[in-house]
Homo-oligomer: A and B are copies of this chain.
Amino acid sequence: MAGVQTSALCIAVSNAGGLGSLPCAMLSADTLRAELQTIQAGTSNPYNVNFFCHTPPEPDIARNQKWQQALSPYYRELGLNPDEFPSGPGRTPFSADLAEVLEEFKPPFVSFHFGLPKPELLQRVKAMGAQILSSATTVEEALWLQANGCDFVIAQGLEAGGHRGHFLSHDLSVQMGTFALLPQVVKALDIPVIATGGIANANGVAAAMALGAKAVQVGTAYLLAPECTTSVIHRKALASPKAQHTALTNLFSGRPARGIVNRVMREMGSLSDCPPEFPLATAGIAPLRAKAESLGLGDFTPLWAGQNAGECLEASATEITHRLAQGF
């Protein structure tokens, strides 16, 4: 949920009886500290902090040029100079610096995406007393996470919005819908499994419990809540019939993530070999996104959403949480 929420949603959900979460993939150490202060002032209930833990790739000049070339026509169309093509990482992985901030706050739950951080870094988080969570997109990944120190595994079905969490295989064909992945992970593991992917209302929660989940992770269903920082463009797309058609795309970051199909996805193909490796694709498309958004267009905006985006409620996070809880 990086980019669409801050501590406000985390606090509201934790106060409503859920486990609120703070996405930290795009936060500096200083912002993380400020956000954690806000959370601890705002709720006395448990909360979670979420980090990406990818290995930053070496910049690849040839691939960045390919990306520049592919986006140049759009740069020109929007009156931008394609020779001024930014590069650099779009998201930061979990690090010793961030762990140092966590040590000040000792968050009760810490979740990771794309596997787990290096053993010594993970050990440092466990030493704070935090329960560790991470996402699995296959049974193999779930077993790996259990063997490598997770206390809970999040089974991420293909319906889920945002970045796929895969880390052992990049072959998308091995990934499964929630209806298949969830019971298989439950059967394979000894530790509790959290379901995610297409769970957007109380019926979805009840179905996930029937398939063996001990808890659910819900993202998309909160995107229209006032506590989210979802942009007006993103909100409009979510509330429109366009939200019925999502697809996995690597155009916005370099890794497959599910969002509402928009112009750049239609024209370049959602899964393309043009973008450089995650997260290096982000920088080059950012100026297009900013310029288009200034014109009121979401043509280059990642409109992250799961396959049940139509269930988003324009309601407070408290009400959304209470409604979901009826499925337990």
Residues of A near any B CB (own CB < 8 A) = 139, 157-159, 173-174, 176-181, 183-184, 197-199, 201, 203-204, 206-208, 210-212, 244-245, 247-248, 261, 270, 306-308, 310-311, 327
5 pairs across A/B with beta carbons < 8 Å? A173-B261, A179-B179, A179-B308, A180-B306, A183-B308
Q: Which residues of B contact A178 (CB under 8 A)?
A: 177-179
Given that A157-B179, A159-B180, A180-B308 are known contacts, is A207 also in contact with B197, CB under 8 Å in the complex? no
Residues of the B chain whose Cβ atoms lie less than 8 Å from the Cβ of A203: 183, 210-212
User: Do the beta carbons of A198 and B179 come within 8 Å of each other?
Assistant: yes
Known: A157-B177, A179-B197. 19 other contacts (CB 8 A): A173-B245, A173-B247, A173-B248, A176-B198, A177-B177, A177-B179, A179-B207, A179-B307, A179-B308, A180-B306, A181-B307, A183-B203, A184-B244, A184-B308, A203-B210, A204-B210, A204-B211, A207-B207, A207-B211
Once the chains bind, are A159 and B179 in contact (CB under 8 Å)? yes
Shortest distance from the beta carbon of A2 to any chain B beta carbon, whole Å: 23
- Give chain B residues whose Cβ lies under 8 Å from the Cβ of A208: 207
Inter-chain contact B211/A176, CB cutoff 8 Å: no
Identify which of B176, B210, B307 contacts A180 (C-beta below 8 A). Answer: B307
